[in-house]
């Protein structure tokens, strides 16, 4: 750290060379929480595409499937059609607001525990540790000259990283096709090129981001830390070094020398402080052991205060608590706390109750918006019909005069059968008096006000229909097409359109 | 810019010299990988310029060592599309037009192909929606001069109407009754009155009654005694609500006096049979298409012109 008085320019560099981070292994409640979340997240990611869900013979039996080729999205009992994409948009908005909510309630919890970059980097770090040893061994190996042992270790490490990358990319493609069939085709080299390309790209990105770039992604590439630093306020949870407790940091002989002047608690006696606070020699709890820096996956010093490099993973808390236990000082010299609580604690006051911190207008508004969108989508999902009609009136020509003097209009009627079984629907019209409906197949001889249409399972049926009506009448009549499913389940859909006649002469 | 470098204490980084309300910008160095990425993009750009057309010259751009061109890409795509459509085209060529409705998929392909071909060859006269214009028949309606089943339409497209030099063209000629002095002007008016009577546009009157006799002597040969026309000779039905040129008195007078002689090209000499087949199925699908006549029991071939 440069002091303000140091006015010589630093060495001019066009770039900042990366200082490699060698995070030290640590154990503690937050480390164990990270293990658990990593296990759950990876389990969900790898297992989901292999879950089956019976939808009958007409639809795929994969529980979660993004069927881009047929433009369907399946998620357990829910099937989304392209025109219902607003559900997906709603989910994305919920995810966005959910991040706001989490951030305002518990800070950068997403970054520290759930972000794929964090989870996979964590995985890669563990692989590295298993092969190269812990922090000190890694640093030694880094400085060691190249030799058979170093080459073997490096090859093994990168090979395992690449395998993890390939498995990550490999799992991704199974969300977009029938997993067992694609897996089989993939192994036999008969899968589509895009599958191999996707696996290749995701293998590369996983390997590069998780193995090589790691904290660089968080610090330089990801926009989320910037957004979050704008969203944090004095009541947001951050990992905080309690400077009022820790400072001044001392260790070794100096610490022992100072400690002799103090009572057994390691703190200046209140009487002495009251007499002359400035004279009181004191030592902070921090023994400047740098354990918090050694375990940090982004290589920062948390004692410098909140910073963009801190992903609030809590590993420094585990590390510091271990040290505090060894030197017999209370734990949580570094801990999750808010800026406000920290200031209250520094001045000897009680921190805010957790509930009061959690339930403040901001979190409530976020939660309200988040839950509102979720409930609205659930309501819409529960009430949506699985049959739909859309009528497109032929505009060129708008009308055709038939030889008997009547007027004919043409309509392209699209009936969506969103059920995974074939359905027959009845199409009927209500419009100008005497109007009849026919199709090219039935011909005008078979015209009536009703018509039957078979719709294949999970498909759109398109029919060119004609409506004829007497030539006398208004230039534009309102007309409604009604589609009624003819099976037990039923379902009705309507679409409004018009019936056009030629402009009246004179 | 500040003349001398000032260093920010806590970070050890020099200031850029920009300051807003006391907030100053630091000259934080970029990460090395970022800079390497920048260099990589520059190298990529140089390689692109060498491999692909890039530098504008007087006559087009530099060629690039790969010889790539967007025209070449288009040709490749067109060739690929031609190959893709080849099986459908072969199937269409092999199937007689009467057999198409049995194969829904092929019929749909033919109709869509016909829709495209219609836009190229037919819209100039019949309009983009095939609604026709004065003198150019509306192909959407159910009134056909020569017949509206798909085989007859194919015949009409192939050989045209009154196309000189085509033996099988649709040939008919109405005499110019007024111009050639067959009928006197007042007789023409009487015939017009009669035609407007049988087409329910005017009530019966003395003129129409005189016209009935003239009609029977001069017009019924082609248009029929009931004035319902004849598809054998392409004589229009005069009793329905559809007029090729117009049903008002002035237009009818003009028609009877000078006759009409609309011509449609014989497309058989310009288009391949598959395209004509597709055009016929498309026109047939517009709403006025008629069923094929039932095949006679005997060995007599289907008389396409008769219906």
Q: What is the CATH number of the domain that holds B228?
A: 1.10.760.10
Q: Which of A13, A403, A444 sits opposite B240 (nearest CB)?
A: A403
Total domains, chain B: 3
The two structure tokens encoding residue B248: 């008002």
Render the burial of A49-73: b for 16+ CB within 10 Å, e for the rest.
beeeeebeeebbebbbbbbeeeebb
* Predicted confidence (pLDDT) at residue A16 exceeds the cutoff of 80: no
Rounded distance between C-alpha atoms, residue A246 and residue A422, angstroms: 72
Token pair belonging to B212: 């009935």
Q: Verify that B279 and B158 share a domain, yes or no.
A: yes
- pLDDT value of residue A274: 52
Angle value at C-alpha B98, between B94 and B104, nearest 5 degrees: 80
pLDDT score at A12: 60
Report chain A residues whose CB lies below 8 A from the CB of B141. 400-403, 408
The mean pLDDT value for A461-470 works out to 92
Hey, are the CB atoms on B287 and A443 less than 8 Å from each other? no
A239 band by pLDDT with thresholds 50, 70 and 90: very high
Going by the DSSP 8-state scheme, the letter that residue A177 receives in this structure is S
Residue A276, pLDDT score:
52
* Among A3-17, A261-275, B256-270, the least confident range: A261-275
Structure-token match 């050694």, residue found: A294
Residue B251 lies in a domain: yes
With CA atoms as reference, the chain A residue closest to B36 would be A15
B28 in a structural domain = yes
Q: What is the DSSP letter of A308?
A: T
Residue B276 and residue B250 in one domain: no
Tell whether the model's pLDDT for residue A111 goes beyond 80. Answer: yes
Same domain, B117 and B251: no
Higher pLDDT, B2 or A73: A73
Give residue A279's pLDDT band: very low, low, confident or very high (50, 70, 90): very low
pLDDT band at B241 (very low <50, low <70, confident <90, very high): confident
Please judge whether A4 and B32 are an interchain contact, meaning their C-beta atoms are less than 8 angstroms apart: no
Dist CA A440 CA A444 (whole Å):
8
Tell me the pairing of strands B30-31 and A15-16: parallel
Q: Which residues contact A200 (CB under 8 A, 6 or more apart)?
A: A169
**Contact (CB<8Å) A397/B142:** no
Q: How far is A398 from chain B (nearest CA, A)?
A: 9
What pLDDT does residue A498 have? 95
Which position has the higher pLDDT, A506 or A306? A306
| A5 has pLDDT over 80 | no
Whether residue B77 is contained in a domain is answered as: no
Same domain, B160 and B272: yes
A381, with CB counted inside 10 A (0-12, 13-18, 19+), is middle
Domains of chain A: residue spans and CATH: 29-230 (no CATH), 235-362 (no CATH), 387-500 (2.60.40.10)
Q: Is residue A255 pLDDT above 90, yes or no?
A: no
Q: What is the pLDDT of residue A13?
A: 66
Residue A7 has pLDDT above 60, yes or no: no
Partner residues linked to B136 by β-bridges: B133
Of the pLDDT bands very low, low, confident and very high (cuts 50, 70, 90), residue B7 is confident
Q: What confidence tens digit (pLDDT) does each residue in B116-132 have? A: 999 999 999 999 999 99
First to last CA, chain B: 94
**Residue-number span of the structural domain to which B11 is assigned:** 1-36
Across the interface, whether the CB atoms of A403 and B131 are under 8 A apart is answered: no
Q: What is the arithmetic mean of pLDDT over A156-172?
A: 93
CA separation for the pair A51, A61 (Å, rounded): 9
**b/e B221-251 (16+ beta carbons within 10 angstroms → b):** ebbeeebebbbebbbbbbbbbbbbeebeeee
- Does the structure show a pLDDT above 80 at A4? no
Q: What is the pLDDT of residue A490?
A: 85
Say whether A397 and B34 touch across the interface (CB within 8 A): no
Structure tokens, B65: 């060592």
Contact assignment for A15 to B131 by CB distance below 8 Å: no
pLDDT in tens, A182-197: 999 999 999 999 999 9
pLDDT of residue A64: 94
The verdict on B272 and B252 lying in the same domain is no
B141 with B160, same domain: the answer is yes
Q: What pLDDT is stored for residue A281 in this prediction?
A: 53
User: If you average pLDDT over every residue of chain A, what do you get?
Assistant: 87
Residue from A7, A10, A442 to probe the interface with B (highest B Cβ count within 10 Å): A10
Task: Give pLDDT, residue A226.
Answer: 87
Residues B52-109 pLDDT 10s: 999 998 888 888 899 899 999 999 999 999 999 999 999 999 999 998 988 989 999 9
Six token digits for residue A315: 């590993």
> Is B33's CB within 8 Å of A18's CB?
yes
SS3 A481: strand
Pair (B105, B157) in one structural domain: yes
Lowest mean pLDDT among A271-280, A384-393, B39-48: A271-280
Structure tokens at A330: 């209370």
Mean pLDDT of chain B, nearest integer: 90
Q: Which residues of B touch A444 (CB under 8 A)?
A: 142
Report the pLDDT value the prediction gives residue A6, as an integer from 0 to 100: 44
Cβ neighbours for A442, distance < 8 A, ≥ 6 positions apart: A451
Task: Please indicate, yes or no, whether residues B160 and B200 belong to a single structural domain of this protein.
Answer: no
| Residue B43 scores a pLDDT above 70 | yes
A1 and B10 within 8 Å at the Cβ level: the answer is: yes
Q: Which of B9, B32, B138 sits opposite A15 (nearest CB)?
A: B32
Q: Among all chains, which residue has been given the structure tokens 């190996």?
A: A141
Backbone dihedral angles phi then psi of residue A498, each to the nearest 5 degrees: -130, 165
Upstream peptide bond of A47 is cis (omega within 30 degrees of 0): no
Residues B209 and B158 in one domain: no
Question: Is residue B74 situated within a structural domain?
Answer: no
CA B185 – CA B194 distance, rounded (Å):
14
The mean-pLDDT minimum among A352-361, A399-408, A456-465 falls in A352-361
Residues B140, B191, single domain; the answer is no
Residue B178 lies in a domain: no
Rounded to a whole number of angstroms, the distance from the CA of B182 to the nearest CA of chain A is: 30
Q: How far apart are CA B176 and CA B183, in angstroms?
A: 9
* Structure tokens given for A86: 């607003």
- Across A131-135, A318-322, A349-353, least confident range: A349-353
Provide the CA A357 distance to its chain's centre, in angstroms.
25
- CA pseudo-torsion sign B90, B95, B96, B99: negative
Q: Cβ contacts (< 8 Å) between B31 and chain A: which residues? A: 15-16, 18, 216, 220
Q: Rounded mean pLDDT of A475-503? A: 92
- Cα–Cα separations (whole angstroms), residue A266 to A342, A382, B110: 21, 64, 94
Q: A261-267, long-range: CB within 8 Å, 24+ apart, which pairs?
A: A266/A329
Task: Please check the confidence at residue A141 and state whether its pLDDT lies above 70.
Answer: yes
Name which of B110, B140, B242 to mutate to probe chain A: the one with the most chain A Cβ atoms within 10 A of its Cβ. Answer: B140
Q: Is position B61 within any domain?
A: no
Q: Which of B5, B11, B31 sits opposite A15 (nearest CB)?
A: B31
Q: Which residues, in sequence order, are CB contacts of B2 under 8 Å at separation 6+?
A: B15, B17
Angle at B269 between CA B268 and CA B275, to 5 degrees: 45
pLDDT tens-digit readout, A286-301: 988 999 999 999 999 9
* B157 & B195 share domain: no
How many other CB atoms sit within 10 Å of the CB of residue A351? 15
Is B39 in the A-facing interface, judged by CB distances under 8 Å?
no
pLDDT at B61: 85
- Residue B263: inside a domain: no
Cβ–Cβ of A3/B9 closer than 8 Å? yes
Tokens at residue A167, please? 């498995």
Smallest CA-to-CA distance from B253 within B181, B298, B193 is with B193
- Domain contains B75: no
Find out whether the peptide bond into A248 is cis, omega within 30 degrees of 0.
Answer: yes
Same domain, B5 and B138: no
| Residue owning tokens 């028609």 | B255
């Amino acid at each position: 750290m440069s002091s303000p008085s140091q006015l010589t320019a630093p060495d001019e560099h066009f770039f900042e060379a990366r200082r490699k981070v060698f995070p030290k292994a640590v154990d503690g409640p937050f480390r164990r929480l990270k293990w658990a979340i990593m296990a759950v997240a990876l389990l969900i990611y790898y297992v989901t595409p292999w879950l089956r869900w019976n939808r009958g013979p007409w639809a795929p039996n994969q529980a979660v499937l993004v069927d881009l080729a047929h433009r369907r999205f399946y998620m357990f009992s829910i099937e989304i059609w392209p025109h219902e994409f607003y559900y997906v948009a709603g989910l994305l908005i919920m995810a966005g607001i959910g991040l706001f909510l989490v951030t305002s309630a518990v800070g950068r919890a997403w970054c520290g525990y759930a972000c794929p970059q964090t989870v996979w980097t964590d995985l890669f770090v563990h692989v590295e540790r298993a092969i190269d040893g812990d922090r000190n061994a890694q640093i030694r190996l880094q400085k060691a000259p190249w030799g058979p042992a170093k080459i073997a270790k490096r090859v093994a490490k990168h090979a395992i990283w690449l395998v993890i990358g390939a498995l990550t990319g490999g799992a991704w493609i199974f969300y977009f096709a029938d997993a067992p069939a694609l897996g089989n085709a993939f192994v036999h080299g008969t899968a589509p090129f895009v599958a191999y390309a996707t696996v290749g790209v995701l293998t590369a990105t996983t390997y590069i981001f998780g193995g090589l770039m790691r904290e660089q992604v968080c610090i330089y590439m990801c926009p989320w830390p910037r957004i979050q630093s704008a969203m944090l306020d004095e009541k947001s949870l951050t990992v905080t070094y309690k400077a009022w407790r820790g400072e001044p940091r001392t260790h070794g002989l100096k610490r022992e020398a100072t400690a002799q002047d103090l009572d057994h608690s390691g703190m200046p006696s209140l009487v002495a402080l009251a007499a002359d606070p400035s004279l009181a020699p004191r030592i902070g709890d921090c023994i400047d052991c740098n354990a918090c820096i050694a375990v940090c996956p982004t290589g920062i010093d948390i004692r410098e205060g909140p910073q963009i490099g801190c992903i609030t993973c809590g590993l420094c808390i585990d590390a510091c608590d271990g040290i505090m236990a060894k030197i017999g000082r209370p734990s949580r010299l570094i801990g999750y706390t808010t800026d406000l609580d920290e200031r209250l604690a520094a001045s000897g006051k009680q921190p805010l109750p957790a509930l009061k911190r959690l339930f403040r207008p901001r979190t409530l508004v976020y939660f309200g918006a988040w839950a509102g969108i979720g409930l609205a989508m659930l309501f819409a999902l529960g009430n949506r019909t699985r049959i739909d009609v859309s009528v497109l009136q032929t505009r060129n020509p708008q009308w055709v005069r038939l030889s008997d003097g009547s007027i004919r209009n043409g309509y392209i009627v699209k009936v969506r059968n969103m059920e995974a079984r074939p359905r027959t629907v009845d199409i009927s019209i209500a419009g100008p008096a005497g109007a009849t409906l026919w199709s090219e197949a039935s011909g005008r001889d078979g015209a009536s006000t009703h018509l039957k249409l078979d719709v294949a399972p999970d498909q759109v049926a398109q029919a060119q229909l004609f409506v004829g009506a007497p030539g006398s009448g208004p230039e534009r009549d309102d007309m409604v097409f009604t589609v009624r499913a003819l099976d037990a389940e039923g379902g009705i859909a309507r679409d409004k359109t018009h019936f056009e006649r030629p402009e009246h002469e004179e | 810019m500040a003349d001398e470098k000032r260093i920010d204490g806590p970070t050890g980084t020099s200031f850029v010299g920009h300051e807003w309300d006391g907030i100053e910008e630091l000259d934080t160095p970029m990460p090395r990988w970022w800079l390497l990425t920048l260099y990589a993009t520059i190298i990529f750009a140089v390689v692109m310029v060498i491999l692909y057309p890039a530098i504008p010259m007087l006559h087009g751009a530099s060629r690039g060592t790969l010889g790539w061109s967007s025209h070449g890409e288009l040709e490749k795509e067109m060739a690929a599309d031609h190959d893709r459509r080849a099986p459908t085209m072969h199937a269409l060529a092999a199937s007689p037009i009467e057999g198409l409705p049995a194969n829904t998929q092929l019929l749909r392909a033919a109709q869509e192909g016909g829709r495209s071909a219609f836009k190229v060859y037919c819209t100039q006269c019949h309009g983009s929606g095939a609604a026709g214009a004065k003198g150019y028949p509306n192909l959407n309606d159910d009134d056909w001069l020569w017949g509206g089943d798909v085989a007859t339409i194919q015949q009409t497209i192939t050989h045209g109407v009154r196309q000189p030099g085509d033996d099988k063209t649709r040939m008919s000629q109405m005499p110019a009754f007024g111009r050639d002095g067959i009928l006197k002007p007042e007789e023409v008016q009487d015939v017009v009155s009669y035609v407007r009577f049988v087409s329910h546009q005017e009530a019966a009157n003395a003129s129409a009654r005189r016209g009935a006799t003239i009609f029977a002597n001069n017009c019924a040969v082609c248009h029929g005694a009931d004035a319902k026309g004849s598809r054998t000779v392409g004589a229009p039905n005069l009793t329905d609500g559809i007029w090729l040129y117009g049903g008002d008195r002035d237009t009818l007078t003009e028609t009877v006096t000078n006759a009409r002689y609309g011509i449609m090209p014989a497309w058989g000499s310009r288009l391949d049979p598959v395209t004509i087949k597709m055009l016929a199925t498309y026109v047939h699908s517009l709403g006025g298409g008629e069923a094929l006549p039932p095949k006679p029991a005997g060995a007599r071939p289907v008389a396409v012109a008769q219906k």
